[in-house]
């Protein structure tokens, strides 16, 4: 939280409306690489290629791990070249991933498609969104990130339902061909228009950054400014590892929940359609978590929300474990939605607070890479356990055990984050 007086929300949106909207749509359309969307087609892919739970999970893990590893290096591009160049490249390769998913006759190429979808959709599009907002907005970045983060809530509410409807009229391969066409024909021109004035904003920021560095050399800088740390500096900072342990909770375990949504629905004695219908509760809670956390961070600080996130997600896991009807399932969606909304808003602001904004893209990419690795490991972990006879409830209990342990570690280390 900055020491300067927080700008009003109206003034924030009036000054940065185009940037915030760009961030919103980047996250909204990143859905093509998100597990909540890909998961809707996992059953069809398994049936087409005659794959087991652990086999499709392993393929997903391979594609996601490769995405996470490469993101550490590709993420640096956001710091050394125009963010728009990274975005347009990501959209082209995202479309390529959709086409490969639609056309591949070989199961061995499925991990390649997963890699392209995860790298460009889950990885680069949110990274560009978070980097732009947290780099170019200093006063009010918590609320700006929250408003942009509503894109995730919106795509959770809309796209899984679209996927289910399309499956009634098209084969899953035809659907993915249409997704590729939409990206090329609609999304690339759409974002080109939105980022027309971005070069001016970037030039003004670089000029301000240069002036700040000169002031630092003369010891005339504001003592409240956060020192800028690069990837090497961050790797020697213990706070980064504690931050990773906590921030990975939501994407790590929610990915497994979405990946095996049909299995969770069965274990909860509800239909898959009723389970998906509950995403509306997930979305509403996520929106509330998004917006409320943005305001709280701007006025009370980011560390408070870092402590709250594992508690809410843990309550969601307890509800899923207890679930034997829709009430438990929908209550679980409310708690997990709140934690999703907060976590989606928290990443950029807390990285900027702890490690500065000069190398924000590369540092954020490291955090994102670890989170992506977690999303790769959790479906495989759950799939292997279930293939060996363990119940989904047992898997969820192990998720809860980690969540509690990470929260206790954070609480014991709070002085380091003050």
- Confirm whether 154 is domain-assigned: yes
Q: What is the pLDDT of residue 404?
A: 95
- Confirm whether 188 is domain-assigned: yes
- Confirm whether 2 is domain-assigned: no
- Confirm whether 109 is domain-assigned: yes
Q: What is the pLDDT of residue 94?
A: 96
Domain with 91, as residue range(s), is 9-417
CATH number, domain with residue 278: 1.20.1250.20
How many structural domains does the chain have? 1
- Confirm whether 412 is domain-assigned: yes
- Confirm whether 4 is domain-assigned: no
pLDDT by residue, tens only, the chain of 418 residues: 444 556 777 888 888 888 889 889 999 999 999 888 898 888 889 999 988 878 888 898 888 888 888 887 887 787 777 888 889 999 999 999 999 999 988 889 999 999 999 999 988 998 888 888 887 887 777 788 888 888 887 887 788 888 888 988 999 999 999 999 999 999 999 998 888 777 677 666 666 666 665 655 555 444 445 567 766 777 888 888 988 889 889 988 888 888 888 888 888 888 888 888 888 898 889 888 888 887 887 777 788 888 899 999 999 999 999 988 899 999 999 999 999 888 877 877 777 777 776 777 777 778 877 887 777 778 888 888 888 888 888 999 999 999 999 999 999 888 887 7
- Confirm whether 387 is domain-assigned: yes
Q: What angle do CA 253, 155, 84 make, to 5 degrees?
A: 100
Query: What is d(CA 27, CA 148) in angstroms, rounded to the nearest whole number?
Result: 7
First to last CA, the chain: 11
CB neighbours of residue 168 within 10 Å? 6
Query: What is d(CA 253, CA 272) in angstroms, rounded to the nearest whole number?
Result: 19
Q: What is the pLDDT of residue 222?
A: 47
**Residue 241: its H or E element:** helix 238-247
Asked if 121 and 33 count as a contact pair (C-beta separation under 8 A), the reply is: yes
- Full DSSP string of 85-116: HHHHHHHHHHHHHHHHHHH---GGGHHHHHHH
Query: What is d(CA 309, CA 290) in angstroms, rounded to the nearest whole number?
Result: 12
- Confirm whether 236 is domain-assigned: yes
């Amino acid at each position: 939280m900055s020491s300067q007086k927080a700008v009003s929300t109206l003034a924030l949106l009036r000054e940065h409306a185009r940037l915030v909207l760009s961030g919103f749509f980047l996250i909204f359309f990143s859905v093509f690489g998100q597990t909540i969307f890909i998961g809707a087609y996992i059953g069809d892919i398994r049936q087409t290629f005659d794959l087991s739970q652990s086999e499709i999970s392993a393929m997903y893990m391979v594609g996601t791990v490769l995405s996470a590893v490469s993101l550490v290096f590709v993420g640096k591009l956001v710091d050394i070249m125009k963010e728009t160049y990274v975005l347009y490249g990501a959209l082209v390769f995202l479309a390529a991933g959709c086409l490969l998913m639609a056309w591949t006759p070989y199961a061995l190429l499925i991990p390649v498609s997963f890699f392209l979808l995860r790298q460009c959709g889950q990885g680069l599009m949110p990274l560009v969104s978070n980097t732009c907002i947290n780099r170019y907005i200093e006063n009010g970045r918590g609320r700006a990130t929250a408003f942009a983060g509503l894109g995730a809530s919106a795509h959770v509410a809309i796209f899984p339902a679209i996927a289910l409807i399309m499956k009634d009229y098209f084969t899953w391969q035809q659907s993915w061909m249409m997704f590729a066409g939409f990206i090329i024909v609609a999304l690339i021109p759409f974002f080109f228009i939105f980022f027309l004035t971005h070069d001016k904003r970037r030039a003004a920021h670089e000029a301000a950054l240069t002036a700040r560095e000169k002031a630092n050399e003369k010891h005339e800088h504001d003592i409240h400014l956060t020192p800028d740390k690069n990837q090497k500096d961050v790797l020697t900072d213990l706070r980064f590892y504690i931050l990773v342990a906590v921030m990975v909770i939501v994407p790590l375990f929610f990915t497994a929940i979405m990946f095996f949504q049909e299995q969770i629905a069965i274990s909860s004695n509800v239909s898959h359609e009723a389970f998906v219908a509950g995403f509306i509760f997930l979305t509403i809670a996520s929106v509330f978590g998004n917006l409320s956390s943005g305001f709280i961070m701007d006025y009370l600080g980011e560390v408070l929300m870092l402590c709250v996130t594992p508690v809410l997600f843990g309550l969601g896991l307890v509800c899923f474990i207890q679930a034997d009807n829709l009430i438990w399932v929908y209550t679980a969606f409310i708690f997990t939605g709140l934690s999703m909304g907060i976590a989606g808003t928290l990443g950029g602001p807390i990285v900027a607070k702890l490690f500065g904004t000069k190398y924000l893209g590369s540092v954020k990419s490291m955090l994102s890479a670890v989170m992506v690795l977690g999303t790769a490991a959790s479906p495989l972990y759950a799939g292997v356990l279930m293939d060996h006879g363990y119940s989904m409830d047992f898997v969820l209990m192990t998720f809860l055990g980690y969540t509690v342990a990470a929260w206790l570690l954070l609480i014991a280390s709070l002085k380091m984050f003050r």
